[in-house]
Structures are given as structure tokens and as C-alpha cells.
């Protein structure tokens, strides 16, 4: 038996549902295999329709593979490996390129995929923890993961090595789960952006296919019609008629379809539970927002987690999950207040794979 076969067998024995996937250069990543689910499976209403994360180019997929670990970069390619310092100081476009360089089907984890994991955890009563308080979770006093970078000037831990936290840092609370989606480093996410507060997406999970451009000038970005939940062509200025926009009303994030009342180039912050929608936003459009994980189905577990946005700039993209210095970070946390050019030691990324 080949060494690779032995490694795969050993991984399967310890972590059922995990697989070693090779890129087109034959280099391995440890991935978590997620089977196809419906809205109902994830607790988003009663529909048995397939959740959009499993629909790429109009075709339903039986599985998605998500990186078990926040990624590193070697020779310009992203890899999911344990006990490593996750790659940081990387822009959105650099993270995107490191994923797509691995070959067909490899991509930067998308917002639809992130939302899939978030809703699965919510439905199963799980709130993954992680490094959101200088090497530990804010609710855990004893365990600290292995540091992977120099301590700060106050001798506090910052980034920690991938997968070195306890099982509470796994999405399913077991060894087979996805680690570190709460804290450590924020993670760039594909398939969603804002233009002057107007929320824009790619169709279903088409962001998983590199053939669909996510460039700032990409022509496949679509706005969301707040009256019926359909995707519509944006006008380029963030003022598309009936499109869903992120407004700032009474110190909270509120989705509207009209003209922004609280537009500003200053970043705003709220809690996940604080998000609401104007009466003009139809239930069908709210379902789209819930599928994106950007509107609560229930706030029982994630309501206090922080969200950030900016509705005044030409384009803002998103990262998710929080960092080592954000005790309000977690699966429901998203930050859409920054440009794709941002590069910082507290922002990394995670690749995913779908067979095309």
C-alpha cells in the first residue's frame, strides 16, 4: 500500500469524515467532507430544497470539502495542515489566488459555505469556541493553545498554531470537525461584497468556480431584490431600485430597499441579534439573507457576536470569525468594513473544494 493510502487510512480511523485531498501538484490538504443538506436540515424554515452552498453553475453537488484548518501558503498555494502558523498579512485577492492556484474546484471559502457551517452548528446547539482572547476563548480560563507568533508588548499570546486548541474549538466539538472558525485570525470570504452599502453576491455558490470573476470590476455581481428575493443586475452606484442595502438606523444594522438614511464612510458595529429589516423587505428576501448567514434565524447562540460594516465606500468585501483580540467574535461575526487591499496580521483565510 502506498504511503498516501496509509496516511489516508490513518486519518479516517482517527477523524471519520476527514480526507486528504491533493491539489494538481500532488500536495496534500486535510479537508472535512460535508454532505448535501436542505434548508430544513439547517433549521432555515421547512423547505426541502437544496441549500445554495451545494449549487454551482446550476448543478447540485453531493459534497463540499472545507479546510479543517486555517490555511498556510507555500509556493503561492493554500494548504490546510495542523500545527502551523496560519497565513496572515494577505489581501483578499492574494487569498483568492492562493486557493484557485491549486487547480479546478479549489476556491476561497465562500460566504454560502461559511453560512452552511454556522447554521449546522446553530441547528445542533453547538457554539464553537476559539482563540478570541489572547490564546484562549474568553469563556475558558484554563486551556491555551500553542503560540505561533511572537507575543505582544504585554506578553500576551496572539496567533496560535492551527488545530492546537481543545475540541471545543472544533465546529462539531469532536476531532473530525473544522477548527478555529472562531477567532485566531479573521478569514477572508468569497462571493459577497457591498457597493456603497448595497449587498451584492454571486449566484448560489458560483463563487466556488474560478470561472466566475470576483474582481472589483467583475460583471457577475448581483444585487438582491428586496421585494421578492430575486437577483438583479446592479446599477453600479449602489442605488439599484428595490435592492437590499445595509443601513444604520437607531444604532443598529437594518436592511432596507430604499435610500440609505445612515450612510457613512465610517465603519459601524452591531451585534448579530441587533440586525433587523425594514417592512419593505419581503420574507423571500430575508430567506436569502438567512442563507448568507447575515440575518438571524434565531439568536439563541450567536446573538451577542459582533458584526461590522461600511455603507459609504465604493466597494467593501468581507471576512468572518474574529481574531485573538475580539471576545465578541465567533461564527456569526462578519466584517464588511474594509477594502480588498487590506493586509494585516489578524486576517487570514481558508480554502474549500467542490468537484466541478
**pLDDT digits over 183-193, tens only?**
999 999 999 99
Task: Give the residue ranges of the chain where pLDDT is below 50.
Answer: 1, 4, 6, 13
Residue 223 within any structural domain of the chain: yes
- 28-to-71, 74, 247 alpha-carbon distances in Å: 12, 12, 43
| Residue 249, in any domain of the structure | yes
Q: How far apart (Å, rounded) are the C-alpha atoms in residues 184 and 110? A: 19
Is the residue at 120 inside a domain?
no
What is the pLDDT at residue 3?
56
Domain assignment present for 8:
no
Residue 355 lies in a domain: no
Q: Output DSSP code: residue 110.
A: B
Q: In this structure, are residues 202 and 191 in contact, taking their beta carbons and an 8 Å threshold?
A: yes
Q: What's the pLDDT tens digit per position in 248-298?
A: 999 999 999 999 999 999 999 999 999 999 999 999 999 999 999 999 997
80's enclosing H/E stretch is none
- Predicted local confidence at residue 299, as pLDDT: 65
How many domains, the chain? 1
- The full DSSP string for 178-212 is -B--SBSSEEEEEEEEEETTEEEE-STTGGGSTTS
- Of 69, 112, 64, residue with least CA distance to 355: 64
pLDDT of 6 reads: 43
What's the burial of 259, exposed, middle or buried (CB within 10 Å: 0-12/13-18/19+)? Answer: exposed
Domain range holding 257? 197-320
- Residue 98 resides in a domain: no
Cβ burial of 75 (10 Å; 0-12, 13-18, 19+) is exposed
The set of cell numbers assigned to 276 is 433587523
**128 Ramachandran zone, left/alpha/beta (phi>0; psi -120 to 50):** beta
Residue 302 lies in a domain: yes
Amino acid at each position: 500500500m502506498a504511503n498516501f493510502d496509509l496516511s489516508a487510512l490513518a486519518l479516517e480511523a482517527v477523524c471519520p469524515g476527514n480526507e486528504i485531498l491533493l491539489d494538481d501538484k500532488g500536495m496534500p490538504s486535510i479537508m472535512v467532507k460535508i454532505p448535501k443538506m436542505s434548508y430544513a436540515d439547517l433549521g432555515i424554515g421547512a423547505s426541502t430544497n437544496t441549500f445554495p452552498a451545494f449549487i454551482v453553475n446550476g448543478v447540485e453537488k453531493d459534497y463540499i470539502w472545507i479546510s479543517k484548518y486555517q490555511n498556510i501558503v507555500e509556493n503561492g498555494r493554500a494548504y490546510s495542515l495542523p500545527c502551523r502558523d496560519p497565513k496572515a498579512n494577505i489581501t483578499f485577492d492574494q487569498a483568492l489566488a492562493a486557493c484557485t492556484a491549486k487547480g479546478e474546484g479549489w476556491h476561497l471559502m465562500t460566504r454560502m459555505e461559511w453560512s452552511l457551517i454556522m447554521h449546522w452548528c446553530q441547528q445542533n446547539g453547538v457554539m464553537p469556541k476559539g482563540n478570541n482572547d489572547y490564546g484562549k476563548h474568553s469563556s475558558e480560563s484554563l486551556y491555551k493553545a500553542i503560540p505561533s507568533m511572537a507575543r505582544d508588548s504585554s506578553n500576551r499570546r496572539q496567533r496560535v498554531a492551527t488545530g492546537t486548541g481543545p475540541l471545543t474549538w472544533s465546529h462539531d466539538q469532536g476531532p473530525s470537525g473544522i477548527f478555529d472558525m472562531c477567532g485566531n485570525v479573521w478569514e477572508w470570504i468569497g462571493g459577497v461584497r457591498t457597493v456603497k452599502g448595497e449587498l451584492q453576491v454571486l449566484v448560489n455558490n458560483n463563487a466556488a468556480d474560478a470561472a466566475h470573476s470576483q474582481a472589483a470590476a467583475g460583471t457577475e455581481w448581483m444585487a438582491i431584490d428586496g421585494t421578492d428575493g430575486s437577483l438583479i443586475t446592479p446599477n453600479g452606484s449602489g442605488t439599484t431600485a428595490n435592492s437590499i442595502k445595509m443601513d444604520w438606523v437607531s444604532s443598529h444594522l437594518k436592511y432596507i430597499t430604499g435610500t440609505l438614511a445612515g450612510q457613512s464612510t465610517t465603519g459601524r458595529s452591531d451585534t448579530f441579534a441587533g440586525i433587523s429589516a425594514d417592512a419593505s423587505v419581503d420574507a423571500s428576501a430575508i430567506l436569502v439573507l438567512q442563507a448568507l448567514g447575515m440575518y438571524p434565524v434565531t439568536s439563541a447562540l450567536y446573538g451577542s457576536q459582533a458584526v461590522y460594516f461600511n455603507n459609504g465606500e465604493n466597494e467593501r468585501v468581507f471576512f468572518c470569525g474574529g481574531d485573538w483580540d475580539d471576545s465578541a467574535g465567533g461564527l456569526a461575526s462578519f466584517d464588511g468594513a474594509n477594502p480588498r487591499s487590506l493586509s494585516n496580521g489578524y486576517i487570514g483565510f481558508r480554502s474549500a473544494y467542490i468537484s466541478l
